[in-house]
Amino acid sequence: MVGIRKVAGEHLGVTFRVEAGELVIARILHGGMIDQQGLLHAGDIIKEVNGKEVVEDPRVLQEMLQDASGSVVLKILPSYQEGHEPGQVFVKCHYDYDPANDNLIPCKEAGLKFYTGDILQIVNQDDLNWWQARRCVEGGSAGLIPSQLLEEKRKAFVKRDVELAPPGNLCTGVAGKNKKKKMMYLTTKNAEFDRHELLIYEDVAKVPPFRRKTLVLIGALGVGRRSLKNKLLLSDPQHYGTTFPHTSRKPKLGERDGQMYAFTSRSKMEADIKNGRYLEHGEYDGNLYGTKMDSIHEVVEAGRICVLDANPQDSELKRTVDESPRIQTAYGHYFDLTIVNDNLDESYRNLKAALEKVSATQHWVPVTWVF
């Protein structure tokens, strides 16, 4: 016999499933009321509520618990499973999720809504399809989110019927029927939907403030990358520096090596490109252009932040209005700040403020940067 305290309408933080004709606790949400009291465990079988026998219809249990308040006494067959300590796994989310719009989640009220860029602590990954997570900033009890595997399948459109394990499709205060949910996926051979290319959750770690070695300005042609770069370089040449691109073309009249370009031979550039000595490179009008890694290292070793203005080359990107959203989609998860350059002075102030902030505050970075 287990006694719990409950406020009418309060979510218990527990979901149920029917197993062999019995009502079983499917999961207990970390930080919820049941978890805090520590009296029930996943796998426990519910037999009675306040002396009333629970039949195998989940709706009966739902009715018993929905409006219950004060002391609630449960008769259970214990599973003798102990709860797990929350894991120290933190992820950065790279998509928006609203459980209210998810027809697969076993309990919408138990779901956790989040947005792109949110940092979550994953506290339980026992379920193949549904993880328990909580927000790092707000803390509090955990909620259900799609697992990496589930969201990969949903986004990759793999053609097959996937029958999810019985999810425990009743949560306190929510009616439900005992049925399995199915997901239908469509096949695609398009490389952009390759499972390994999908960015869903990124493992991150919190690090103290550190000095950045580079500032990379990325944007479509005509949005003012070069103007922002030059304004920053002129404002503090002792703090910021840049590189000159290498090129295989011959110097024009009046051009000097090392002023606007570093001139070299095509064979030398091709050999260095093959050996991975260029950060980026391309060909224009029969000549090679590129940014050499050594030139970046020289700026950094001189104690300055190397400012780079990258222009992603893509034959399909014809106009600025088309380029920007495509760049955002393809590379947005790498961006620290997105600036709409309606006013150069205002954009410059925003850029400077962002640089000062990242140098003085703790940050979540990919774990591959740390370990």
Instruction: Please report, for the chain, the start and end positions of each structural domain, with discontinuous segments joined by +.
Output: 2-77, 89-206, 209-364
pLDDT of residue 175: 35
Q: Work out the average pLDDT over 199-212.
A: 87
Is 262:245 a contact under the CB 8 Å cutoff? yes
Buried b (16+ CB within 10 A) or exposed e, 287-316: ebbbbbeebbeebeeeebbbbbbebeeeee
**CATH homologous superfamily, domain 2-77:** PDZ domain (2.30.42.10)
Q: Work out the average pLDDT over 104-132.
A: 89
Candidate from 10-19, 60-69, 127-136, 270-279 with smallest mean pLDDT: 60-69
Query: pLDDT tens digits, residue range 290-338?
Result: 999 999 999 999 999 999 987 655 744 455 556 667 767 777 777 888 8
> CA 334 to CA 162: how far, in whole Å?
33
Is 355:239 a contact under the CB 8 Å cutoff? no
Neighbours of 83 (CB within 10 A): 13
H or E element in which residue 205 lies: strand 201-207
Between residues 204 and 32, the one the model is more confident about = 204
pLDDT of residue 201: 93
CATH code at 209-364? 3.40.50.300
Between residues 65 and 277, the one the model is more confident about = 277
Q: Where are the alpha helices (DSSP H) in the chain?
A: 33-37, 58-66, 148-156, 225-235, 266-274, 293-301, 320-331, 344-358
Query: pLDDT tens digits, residue range 93-117?
Result: 998 999 999 999 888 888 999 998 8
Between residues 244 and 314, the one the model is more confident about = 244
Share of the chain above pLDDT 90, in %: 28
- In DSSP terms, 363 is beta-bridged to 207
Taking the model in full, what pTM does it have?
0.62
H or E element in which residue 171 lies: strand 170-171
Query: pLDDT tens digits, residue range 179-198?
Result: 434 433 333 334 434 444 56
Q: What is the mean pLDDT of the chain?
A: 78
**CATH homologous superfamily, domain 89-206:** SH3 Domains (2.30.30.40)
Between residues 31 and 77, the one the model is more confident about = 77
| Helix then strand then coil, % of the chain, to nearest 5 | 25, 30, 45
CA atoms within 13 A on the CB side of 17: 14
Given a cut of 50, whether residue 284 has pLDDT beyond it is: yes
Q: How distant, in Å, are the alpha carbons of 31, 51, 107, 254 from that of 38? A: 10, 21, 21, 79
